[in-house]
Structures are given as C-alpha cells and as structure tokens.
C-alpha cells in the first residue's frame, strides 16, 4: 500500500477566499480541463511529433483524448489509482502528452522528471513521493531506462521502500486499445468541497537550497497562471507552438506552453531534439508561430539561421527565459529570426513575469518582464528584509495566487525559503523599475544556472565528498559565453592519498553514481588548500564566492 499524499503547506483560508472571489481560482480540475478541451476542439490538430518508436504522429484533440484514456487504462492496469504519484521521465515524444493528460484524467499525480535525470535523482523523487510507477521510454539516446528502473528499484528496496512499477511506453502499440468499459481513465474529481484546490502534480525545483525539491501545484493555482499566460501571449486556435525545450520543464509546460496551447485550441509541435536543424525543419513544415527557448538555444538558432537562411516567416513570437538573456543578444531575435521577442522570467514555484507583446523595445530588450497578475505581490528587499527603492538591487520575494507556500516534505528548507507571512524567497537579485518591470541582476542562492538548467552546488559537492580521496569539494558556476554559466568542481584531495588523476577519476565517479548528465561538472580542478573564510552559517557560501571569483580570473572564459 502506498501512503497518501502528506499534508503540504498551503494558502491560509483568507487568501483562498480572496483568490476565489477574484476569479483567479475556478473549480476546474485537470480532469475537467482534459475532457473539456478534447471535446471542444475535437477536430483541430492538438499534437504533432514523433512517438517512442520514431514514427511521425499527428493527433487531433479527439484522438489526444482517446490516447489519454488509453494511457490511463494502462496505468490503472499497472496498479495506479487516484491520488497515486507517478514519476514521468519521458523525452519530447507524443506519449508524454498522453501520459500526463491520462494521469490528470484519473486523478493521479505526475511527478515531472527529465530524460536527463539518472538513477540518483529518480530514486530520490520516487522515494520522496512514494511513487507507484515510473514511466520511461525503453531506450533513448543510448541510455537504457529499463536498466535504470532496475537500479532505482534496487536502491529503494535496500532502503526498505517499495519500488515503482515500470511503465515503458516503447512497448505500447501505435494504435490505442479500445476503451475499457470500466472507464478507469475518466474518473471524476475527489469528493471534497474544492477538488481543484487539491495538489494535482509535483513539479521539480532547482530550489534555493540543497537538492531538487518537489513543488506541490494545484489545478486552481496552475490553471490560473496558464489561462493568464495564454491571454498575455495572445494564444488562439491559430497558435502553433514549437516545443524544443524538455517538455516537462515548467516553462514549456505552462508559460504558456503546452497547457496554454491546449487551453486555447492551438497545436503543439514536439521537437524530439533541441537542435536548430530539427527546429527549423519543423517550423517550415508546420508553420510554427511561436517557440520557447533558453538563452543558449536562442544563440544557437541565431547563428544557425545566419548560416542557413531557413524559412522562419511563420514565426511571430520567440520567448526567451530560464536564464538571463544578455542585452547584446536580445535585438538579434528580431534582426535574425524575424520574430518578436518576449522575455520570460519564471519559476516552477510560481511567479512568472513576461514582457508584453505591445511594450516598447526599451522594456522588451532589457527587462525580464512584469508579473502575470495584479494579485502577485512582489517585494524587493535588503539583507534585513526591508524594501529597497525602485531601481535599487535587492532580493526578490513573492506571494500570490499561483505561488506555493512551501515545498513537499521539506520542513527545514521551507523555513529558509519562505517568510513567516508566506512570501517565497526566490533567491534572485533584481531591480524593479517604476513600471513594475524586473531586471534580473544576480542571485543569492547556492545554485548554478547552466543554460537554464538549475543545479544546487550542495548536490554535486555532497556526491564528490563521498569519494574516499576527496577531503572537501566546492561547486561553482563560472561565466560561459554560451551557457551563461558552466559547472566547475573544485576539490581538495585527502592529504595522504596519491591519486594520479583525480579529475578524471571523479568525472567517472559522478557519472557512475547516477547523476543527471547536465549536472556533470564541465571542469574539475584540484587545489591543495582552500582559502580561509569566516566560520559560521555562511562560510561555505563565502568559500564558493571566493573560489568562483578567483577561478573566473584564472580560467579563460568558456
């Protein structure tokens, strides 16, 4: 038996009442959403892409509805029921959309892993969420996910936990089975007064401290952000969104992303790999009108478009977010790609900021936008949590109708990441302009942002420290022309040990430990001594800063 979902920190009743009264929170559940949109837009094209076996696929909304039900039936046959957590780690294939909507229909909770996650992360997510099943595609990009499921299962068993069922979408037939009479896929919402306000899925966070945490999101809060995002971004039935980023990321899922497009009756085009070649082919073929990119991908598109002159004439808006877009690259979105730029500064915990499509270049090219909602509360504060004047740099705190009040099963981090009155400490340093626009100027969290992927320094350090030849380890982000930051791991070896090539040994060690590919350090440096820092709460943070500054001067920029 799986444990029920634990209680999560949530909005006080006074806020719930306010968000309901303001119309931010409606009673729509994800099951309602799936049923309603698949019926309403039945004949329109919902999803274009490839399936687990590489076949080209084009599903109408009605077909998507059938596929979601078929996925729900298969999940139910594997033992998944309402309220269960299911870790999904699929690449950008059409089954991803069917599985997620299928889980929504049955009232089970997706936990959004990435295809780049490995046994270490997936064991952690399965364990923390007490997952009933792990959904994978048999083999992808040379990685065997079935073998990884075995590894995850062995680890959980040795910790006395029940392993998740393996669900391999590569074994699913290309045509859906006829729907079962039980209709397990189409269950109605739970019998509570506000089913839409129950936790509907767990999203992942790079977080502000420690390793990835699970973010509990509800239909009420999430669909509010999705509806508003769709409206801000001008989505409609003619929208064709190209999804080149990993589909499970919060950005391509909800800002306005796949859900925003399905809400509006448009089409989602899934790119199975992020290369400009694949993207340009799909834009030409499907006449994509919109794409969401992280800055390194935007740069890759720009340089590829300069060389190849693809037909991007259908492209109206290119969104860039996930990491700071440099002011130098921003104008090239229009100059080279011929599209309007929209900057997006968001977080899986909630708050999303957009530059609006009708705003002047001065704001669009140099700010990261302003919040979605008039109910988003934003405070920019100094080290004592006192608000600073507009234009001055400070730490960004936020609270609102779609920003969580706490992570799932994370009491200690919650004390650090949220104020007593429920503001989320984003860990971002910003300047707020009188117009409400935010400019992201830096960060006060121990995190590396590698081209939009967030990595907690502590996670890499902890793993490096488990190697017997390592006395101490520090992971920092060093400036990188292309990625924004790359990961540098600095290790201090055990004094008495003679390791011929600790850097190579450690690289192999981290990979073998099951660390996600994007977290593997780009550079490993050995130092016999670490600089002295003050003792105390912030000593490791000081050490990271000192080493990052020193290495930035010494190592040529990547």
Contact residues toward ligand DBH (CB under 6 A) are 250-251, 254-255, 321-322, 344, 346-348, 352
Binding flag, residue 428, ligand AMP (CB under 6 A): yes
Binding flag, residue 222, ligand AMP (CB under 6 A): no
Choosing among ligand DBH, ligand AMP, none, which partner's interface includes residue 349 (Cβ < 5 to 8 Å by kind)?
A: ligand AMP
Binding flag, residue 368, ligand AMP (CB under 6 A): yes
Binding flag, residue 296, ligand AMP (CB under 6 A): no
What's the CA gap between 82 and 68, in Å, rounded? 15
Residue with smaller CB distance to ligand DBH, 30 or 59: 30
Q: Provide the minimum distance between the beta carbon of 292 and ligand DBH in the complex, in angstroms, as a whole number.
A: 8
Q: Provide the minimum distance between the beta carbon of 68 and ligand DBH in the complex, in angstroms, as a whole number.
A: 23
Phi, psi of 238 (to 5 degrees): -90, 0
Binding flag, residue 477, ligand AMP (CB under 6 A): no
Binding flag, residue 345, ligand AMP (CB under 6 A): yes
When binding is defined by CB under 6 A, the residue of 216, 260, 274, 321 that contacts ligand AMP is 321
Q: Please give the structure tokens belonging to residue 139.
A: 């083999």
What's the CA gap between 32 and 71, in Å, rounded? 17
Binding flag, residue 454, ligand AMP (CB under 6 A): yes
Check if the beta carbon of residue 467 is closer than 8 Å to that of residue 506.
Answer: yes
What's the CA gap between 511 and 35, in Å, rounded? 42
Residue with smaller CB distance to ligand AMP, 65 or 115: 115
Packed helices 295-308 and 276-286: angle between N→C axes, nearest 10 degrees? 70
Binding flag, residue 372, ligand AMP (CB under 6 A): no
Q: Provide the minimum distance between the beta carbon of 295 and ligand AMP in the complex, in angstroms, as a whole number.
A: 8
Choosing among ligand DBH, ligand AMP, none, which partner's interface includes residue 352 (Cβ < 5 to 8 Å by kind)?
A: ligand DBH
Choosing among ligand DBH, ligand AMP, none, which partner's interface includes residue 255 (Cβ < 5 to 8 Å by kind)?
A: ligand DBH
What number of residues does the chain have? 558
**Residue 502: HSE in the Cβ half-sphere, 13 Å Cα cutoff:** 24
Identify the three-state secondary structure at position 86. strand
DSSP per-residue codes, 351-385: EEEE--TTS-HHHHTT---EES-TT-EEEEE-TTS
Q: Provide the minimum distance between the beta carbon of 26 and ligand DBH in the complex, in angstroms, as a whole number.
A: 20
What's the CA gap between 36 and 30, in Å, rounded? 10
When binding is defined by CB under 6 A, the residue of 129, 218, 250, 457 that contacts ligand AMP is 250
Q: Provide the minimum distance between the beta carbon of 345 and ligand AMP in the complex, in angstroms, as a whole number.
A: 4
Task: Write the burial class of residue 517 (CB in 10 Å: 0-12 exposed, 13-18 middle, 19+ buried).
Answer: middle
Site for ligand AMP in 158-177 (CB under 6 A): none
Check if the beta carbon of residue 403 is closer than 8 Å to that of residue 379.
Answer: no
Binding flag, residue 376, ligand AMP (CB under 6 A): no
Give Cβ neighbours of residue 235 (< 8 Å, ≥ 6 apart): 256, 260, 261, 263, 264, 266
Binding flag, residue 211, ligand AMP (CB under 6 A): no
For strands 370-371 and 350-354, give the pairing: antiparallel
Q: Give first-to-last CA distance, the chain, whole Å.
A: 50
Query: Which positions touch ligand AMP (CB under 6 A)?
Result: 205-206, 250, 321-324, 343-349, 368, 426, 428, 440, 443, 449, 454
């Amino acid at each position: 038996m799986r444990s029920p979902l634990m209680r999560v920190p949530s909005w006080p009743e006074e806020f719930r009442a306010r968000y309901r009264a303001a119309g931010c929170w409606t009673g729509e559940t994800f099951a309602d959403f799936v049923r309603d949109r698949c019926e309403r837009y039945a004949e329109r094209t919902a999803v274009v892409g490839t399936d687990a076996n590489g076949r080209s696929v084009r599903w109408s909304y009605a077909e998507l509805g059938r596929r979601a039900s078929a996925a729900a039936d298969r999940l139910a046959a594997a033992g998944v029921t309402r309220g269960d957590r299911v870790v999904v780690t699929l690449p950008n294939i059409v089954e991803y959309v069917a599985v997620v909507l299928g889980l929504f229909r049955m009232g089970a909770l997706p936990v959004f892993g990435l295809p780049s996650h490995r046994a270490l992360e997936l064991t952690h997510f399965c364990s923390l969420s007490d997952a009933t099943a792990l959904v994978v595609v048999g083999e992808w990009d040379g990685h065997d996910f079935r073998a990884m499921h075995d590894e995850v299962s062995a680890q959980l068993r040795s910790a006395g936990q029940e392993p998740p069922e393996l669900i391999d979408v590569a074994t699913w037939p290309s045509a859906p089975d006829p729907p079962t009479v039980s209709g397990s896929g189409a269950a109605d919402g739970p019998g509570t007064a506000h089913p839409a306000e129950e936790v509907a899925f767990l999203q992942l966070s790079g977080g502000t401290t420690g390793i990835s945490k699970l973010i509990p999101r509800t239909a009420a809060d999430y669909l509010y952000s999705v509806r508003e995002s769709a409206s801000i971004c001008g989505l409609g039935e003619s929208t064709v969104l190209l999804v080149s980023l990993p589909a499970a990321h919060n950005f391509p899922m909800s800002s306005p992303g796949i859900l925003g497009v399905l809400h509006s009756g448009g089409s989602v085009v899934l790119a199975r790999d992020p290369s400009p070649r694949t993207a340009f082919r799909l834009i030409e073929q499907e006449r994509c009108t919109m794409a969401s990119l992280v800055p390194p991908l935007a740069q890759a598109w720009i340089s590829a478009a300069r060389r190849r002159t693809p037909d991007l004439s259908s492209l109206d808006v290119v969104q860039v977010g996930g990491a700071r877009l440099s002011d130098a690259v921003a104008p090239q979105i229009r100059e080279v790609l011929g599209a309007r730029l929209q900057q997006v500064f968001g977080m899986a915990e909630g708050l999303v900021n957009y530059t609006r499509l009708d705003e002047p270049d001065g704001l669009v090219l140099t700010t990261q936008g302003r919040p979605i909602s008039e109910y988003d509360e934003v405070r920019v504060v100094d080290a004592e949590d006192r608000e600073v004047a507009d234009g001055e740099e400070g730490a960004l705190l936020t609270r609102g109708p779609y920003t969580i009040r706490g992570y799932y099963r994370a009491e200690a981090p919650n004390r650090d990441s949220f104020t007593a009155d429920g503001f989320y400490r984003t860990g971002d340093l910003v300047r707020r302009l009188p117009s409400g626009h935010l400019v992201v100027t830096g960060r006060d969290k121990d995190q590396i942002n590698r081209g939009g992927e967030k990595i907690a320094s502590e996670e890499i350090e902890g793993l490096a420290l488990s190697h017997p030849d390592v006395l101490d380890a520090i992971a920092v982000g060093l400036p990188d022309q292309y990625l924004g930051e790359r990961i540098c791991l600095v290790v201090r070896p055990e004094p008495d040990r003679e390791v011929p090539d600790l850097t190579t040994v450690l690289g192999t060690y981290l990979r073998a430990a099951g660390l996600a590919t994007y977290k593997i350090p780009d550079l490993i440096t050995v130092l016999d001594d670490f600089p002295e820092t003050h003792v105390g709460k912030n000593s490791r943070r000081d050490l990271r800063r000192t080493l990052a500054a020193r290495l930035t001067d010494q190592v040529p920029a990547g």
